[in-house]
Amino acid sequence: MSCIRVEIPLTIIEGGTLNKTFQWKTGAPLLPVDLTGFTAHMQIRAKLKEEVVLLDVPSSVEVWAADEDTGVYFYDGVTIPDDEGKWRIYLRDNDTMGLCAFHKNIIGVYDLFLYSAEGEAVLQQYGVATILASVTRTEPEP
């Protein structure tokens, strides 16, 4: 199977939580793709050729729950059938804190690969990752 590419911009607020859900549907009529056994990997960089990774987001085998670990979570589609074909990108607030050096916004890039149970990269979600600097931040204690 060829890798499908889909461009979706992301906006992340420095020091804020990102909690976005996506769904993959295909065919006519559109039906959700069974993501059983899928894994994912996501990276965000300030520039495409940049060596430094701002955020490295792993795949999670756990069921998503609020305030859990950063990761890409897959829905099983069994508990709630409408959730078939869905995944969630979840970044905690402390993962995004301090990303904007000199308190300037970052207009970077990201990609997220979905891998089939056989380990084949079958979908690449990619695009501009805008990280908005925030005024509120934790100050070091004296």
- Average pLDDT by consecutive 10-residue portion of the chain (142 residues)? 91 94 94 93 94 94 78 88 93 90 91 95 96 78 60
Domain boundaries, the chain: 4-132
pTM of model > 0.95: no
pLDDT at 142: 60
E strand segments, 10-120: 10-13, 18-23, 25-26, 31-32, 39-45, 55-58, 71-74, 86-91, 106-115
Q: How far is CA 95 from CA 15, 32, 86, in A?
A: 7, 31, 23
CATH topology assigned to domain 4-132: Immunoglobulin-like (2.60.40)
